[in-house]
């Protein structure tokens, strides 16, 4: 254990605190490492199966299929549902680029819908605006740790026979009523990128579902199209979750609710301290939902200047996300058909959003220091 540091006025405030988390968990992580090395179970195997069972139970679903990343989870889940070339998938225009890349990797075309002006989330009304005869699925992205209004999305999907996939990469443990993310759609894609609320020590992802056939198909697709050893029944991919990452995730999963509670407490502190600052808008939480604050975004008209000022004070920030999806050069070849309606709300979020430091291991003193520098002197 390193000697305790005494905070000074020039100590930086980190954006994430994985070093602090891992220091506390080191005995559990070391035991997980030694267990995997001792068994040589590096690819799939017992550790992956055990984590899949644990995470499925946590989310409240029948199946969890471990894969190599959150992007792979989106692509494989869509492919397992039969979504592919010739199909369109509705994607919010305010999200991380991997949401749309997963659709493209499945062979389908993303069509961008606008988001709610206040929450930044996709809802049924915005999805309905871009619905066409080619629409096969809706990607409901649970952004910043808050789940979408799924009732409207599910109702729209039921009327048109659409597959609903949750992009729950930022929503581990978030809930709507008594149901957690992962159990709110026909399937769900999770990322275990290290900085997520539940993060591996490398890349990883998972697909959660109650659909037996979808889970079985996803298991084939992640493992070279293999139904059983030597029997390759489809054109699959090499997108398996490593045994070592599964073991690390098993060590972290029992702590997830505690981490999320700390994030909510930090968000409440931010909310209280920021309330008098009329130049900033914080993220509203939908009634009945439980946000896990993967990020803590604020919106302001002078975002870039504010980020520069905070950086000069040693306070790390992030921009999630800019530009809006339809303005990425990577999607220019999709043409106007990929964004057939005004995406003004997504553009406004892209221009104004700034993510402040958020992690379970932050201190109240650090949060107070951040807020002290949010207004010009």
CATH number at residue 264: 3.90.1150.10
Residues 128-148: pLDDT tens digits?
999 999 999 999 999 999 999
Same domain, 221 and 350: no
Same domain, 158 and 219: yes
Comparing CA positions, the residue from 351, 267, 300, 285 lying closest to residue 118 is 285
Same domain, 277 and 359: yes
Q: At residue 2, does pLDDT exceed 80?
A: no
Same domain, 237 and 264: no
The pLDDT, as a whole number, for residue 377 is 54
Same domain, 183 and 318: no
Same domain, 30 and 96: yes
Q: At residue 337, does pLDDT exceed 90?
A: no
Same domain, 212 and 304: no
Residues 153-164: pLDDT tens digits?
999 999 999 999
Domain final residue, candidates 204, 233, 254? 254
Q: Is residue 10 part of a domain?
A: no
Q: How confident is the model at residue 342 (pLDDT cuts 50, 70, 90)?
A: very high
Same domain, 99 and 215: yes
Comparing CA positions, the residue from 165, 125, 119, 176 lying closest to residue 143 is 119
Average pLDDT over residues 6-13: 66
Q: Is residue 333 part of a domain?
A: yes
Domains contained in the chain, number: 2
Average pLDDT over residues 278-283: 94
Same domain, 237 and 268: no
Same domain, 95 and 234: yes
Residues 92-112: pLDDT tens digits?
999 999 999 999 999 999 999
Residues 248-261: pLDDT tens digits?
999 999 999 999 99
Average pLDDT over residues 338-358: 96
Q: Is residue 242 part of a domain?
A: yes
**CA 154, 144, 184 angle in degrees (round to 5)?**
25
Same domain, 204 and 96: yes
Q: At residue 8, does pLDDT exceed 70?
A: no
**CA 23, 24, 27 angle in degrees (round to 5)?**
90
Domain final residue, candidates 238, 254, 270? 254
Q: Is residue 7 part of a domain?
A: no
The CATH number of whichever domain residue 55 belongs to comes to 3.40.640.10
The pLDDT, as a whole number, for residue 168 is 98
Residues 20-66: pLDDT tens digits?
999 999 999 999 999 999 999 999 999 999 999 999 999 999 999 99
Domain final residue, candidates 236, 254, 272? 254
Q: At residue 230, does pLDDT exceed 90?
A: no
Q: Is residue 239 part of a domain?
A: yes
Q: Could you list the residue range(s) of the whole structural domain that residue 250 is in?
A: 23-113+121-254
Same domain, 272 and 249: no
Average pLDDT, the chain: 95
Residues 290-322: pLDDT tens digits?
999 999 999 999 999 999 999 999 999 999 999
């Amino acid at each position: 254990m390193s000697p305790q540091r005494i905070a000074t006025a020039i100590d930086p405030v980190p954006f994430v605190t994985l070093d602090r988390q891992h220091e506390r968990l080191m005995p559990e992580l070391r035991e997980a490492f030694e267990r995997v090395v001792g068994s040589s179970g590096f690819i799939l195997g017992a550790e992956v199966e055990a984590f899949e069972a644990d995470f499925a139970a946590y989310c409240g679903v029948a199946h969890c299929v471990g894969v190599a990343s959150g992007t792979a989870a989106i692509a494989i889940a869509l492919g397992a549902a039969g979504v592919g070339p010739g199909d369109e998938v509705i994607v919010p225009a305010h999200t991380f680029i991997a949401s749309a890349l997963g659709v493209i990797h499945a062979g389908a075309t993303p069509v961008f819908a606008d988001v709610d002006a206040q929450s930044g989330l996709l809802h049924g009304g915005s999805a309905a605006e871009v619905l066409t005869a080619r629409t096969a699925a809706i990607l409901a992205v649970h952004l910043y740790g808050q789940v979408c209004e799924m009732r409207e999305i599910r109702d729209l999907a039921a009327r048109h026979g659409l597959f609903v996939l949750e992009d729950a990469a930022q929503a581990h443990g978030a809930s709507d009523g008594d149901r957690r993310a992962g159990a709110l759609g026909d399937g769900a894609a999770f990322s275990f990128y290290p900085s997520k609320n539940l993060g591996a020590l490398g890349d990883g992802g998972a697909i959660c579902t109650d659909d037996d056939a979808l889970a079985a198909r996803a298991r084939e697709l992640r493992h070279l199209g293999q139904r059983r050893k030597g029997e390759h029944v489809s054109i699959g991919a090499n997108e398996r979750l490593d045994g070592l990452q599964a073991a690390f995730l098993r060590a972290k999963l029992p702590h997830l609710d505690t981490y999320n509670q700390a994030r909510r407490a930090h968000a409440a502190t931010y909310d209280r301290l920021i309330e008098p600052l009329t130049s900033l808008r914080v993220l509203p939480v939908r009634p009945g939902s439980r946000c896990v604050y993967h990020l803590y975004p604020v919106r302001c008209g002078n975002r870039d200047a504010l980020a520069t000022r905070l950086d000069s004070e040693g306070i790390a920030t992030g921009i999630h996300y800019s530009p809006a999806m339809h303005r990425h050069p990577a999607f220019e070849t999709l043409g106007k058909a990929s964004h057939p309606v005004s995406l003004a709300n997504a553009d406004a979020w892209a221009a104004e959003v700034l993510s402040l430091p958020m992690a379970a291991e932050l201190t109240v003193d650090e949060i107070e220091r951040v807020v002290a520098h949010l207004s010009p002197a």
